[in-house]
Amino acid sequence: MNQEKPGTEQIIYYDTYALYAIALGQENYLSFAKGFHIKTSLMNLYELYYSLLRDGKEQLAEKFLLRILPSCIEITSDIVKNAAKFRLENSRLKLSYIDCLGYTIAKSHNIKFLTGDLGFRDLQDVIFVR
């Protein structure tokens, strides 16, 4: 299991699982709520916004949308192709499209991928927190 202690100037890609945990104030993710440069994608932000709306937390969804939107990394056609290949090569892990996209973005920018998704637990450059 890849776990890291939080640092102060580290750039990390936050998947939806991590963003949602932070939005809800989950204890295991509190150390990742501050002191990091958060990176994510518009797709992860979409998934977060939907999940918070679904759970009746529209104000929180709006707050996080405005806060995180400037941290979104552009999704290029090369990232889309590489994410599709990654998902196909790892189909046994049953990873979502958006998670594969996020992991591929993180890899392409040489940054760690923060998640609690079990499918990523043993992959390279993953910070797994559950």
Strands of 5-118 (E only): list them. Answer: 11-14, 37-39, 112-115
Q: From 69, 63, 13, select the one nearest 36 (Cα to Cα).
A: 13
Indicate whether 6 belongs to any domain: no
Contact 60, 52 (CB under 8 A): yes
Closest Cα to residue 3, out of 110, 115, 80?
115
Residues 79 and 89: their CA atoms lie apart, in Å, by 15
Q: Considering the domain boundaries, does residue 105 fall inside one?
A: yes
**How many separate domains does the chain show?**
1
Instruction: For residue 62, tell me if it sits in a domain.
Output: yes
pTM here is: 0.91
CATH of the domain at 42: 3.40.50.1010
Q: Is the pLDDT of residue 2 over 70?
A: no
The answer to the question of residue 95 being in a domain is yes
Distances (CA, A) of 2 to 35, 73, 108: 19, 24, 19
pLDDT digits (tens, 9 = 90+) for 11-68: 999 999 999 999 999 999 999 999 999 999 999 999 999 999 999 999 999 999 999 9
